[in-house]
Amino acid sequence: MSDVVTGHFGRGKQAWRWAAAIIVVVVLGLATGLGARWYQMKHHHAPVPVPKKSIASAAQDRALNGDYQGAQDQIAAQLAQSGLSADDKYILYYQQGANYQNNGDNKSALESYKQAAAAKKTQNVYESLGAVAHLLGDDTSAIAYYKQAIQLIPPNTPLSGNYKSNYEQIITQLGGQP
């Protein structure tokens, strides 16, 4: 009767068998984990690269901390430098526009977004142009900007359809035809 299971693991020899099986499983798990870690360390070739901070990161940080004027001054100083790439100009003007918009200066935001679009045409900048034009009461321009944003949606991405239908809905709400 000592082999009959009467508790969690049974009694006598059967309890020792269960305990030994559990210990073997735990030891094998630890050995596998340590082996995998050793393999990773042995075959690790280079550190994972840290993404480069954008040229506007410091200004963005200042704006997020409420120092809009300091952020705008910093952007203006960077824009005054010669040899900026189109991407750098885009990033700086876009950040400048976002700062103006967040501070309620939509007219200046529109001008900065236009400068960003002149440097690089993206879906994001045309969406921002549309939103600010609408806030300024220029729905005709807002519709045109949203239509341009539709043209710049990257194809075959998971959210492409969502962006397009969202912009089309906004265009319809503004009185236009998608």
Nearest by Cα to 86 from 119, 121, 55, 123: 119
Average confidence (pLDDT) over 156-176? 90
Note whether 86 and 120 are within 8 A (CB): yes
For residue 39, pLDDT beyond 70: no
Count of domains in the chain? 2
At 50 the pLDDT is 53
Q: Which two tokens stand for residue 83?
A: 């040899």
For residue 2, pLDDT beyond 60: no
Average confidence (pLDDT) over 36-59? 65
- Looking at the structure, do residues 163 and 123 belong to the same domain, yes or no? yes
Distance separating alpha carbons of residues 67 and 139, to the nearest angstrom: 31
pTM: 0.69
Residue-range definition of the domain harbouring residue 9: 1-45
- The mean pLDDT of the chain is 83
Check which CATH number belongs to the domain holding 129 and give it: 1.25.40.10
- Looking at the structure, do residues 38 and 64 belong to the same domain, yes or no? no
Distance separating alpha carbons of residues 21 and 29, to the nearest angstrom: 12
Distance separating alpha carbons of residues 170 and 66, to the nearest angstrom: 31
In Å, how far are 7, 15, 20, 103, 105 from 78, measured between CA atoms?
Answer: 75, 74, 69, 20, 21
Structure letter (DSSP) for residue 35: H
For residue 127, pLDDT beyond 70: yes
Distance separating alpha carbons of residues 45 and 149, to the nearest angstrom: 42
- Looking at the structure, do residues 142 and 168 belong to the same domain, yes or no? yes
- Looking at the structure, do residues 152 and 112 belong to the same domain, yes or no? yes
At 61 the pLDDT is 84
For residue 138, pLDDT beyond 60: yes
φ, ψ of residue 37 in degrees (nearest 5): -65, -40
Whether 121 is covered by a domain: the verdict is yes
For residue 72, pLDDT beyond 60: yes
- Looking at the structure, do residues 105 and 31 belong to the same domain, yes or no? no
For residue 11, pLDDT beyond 90: no
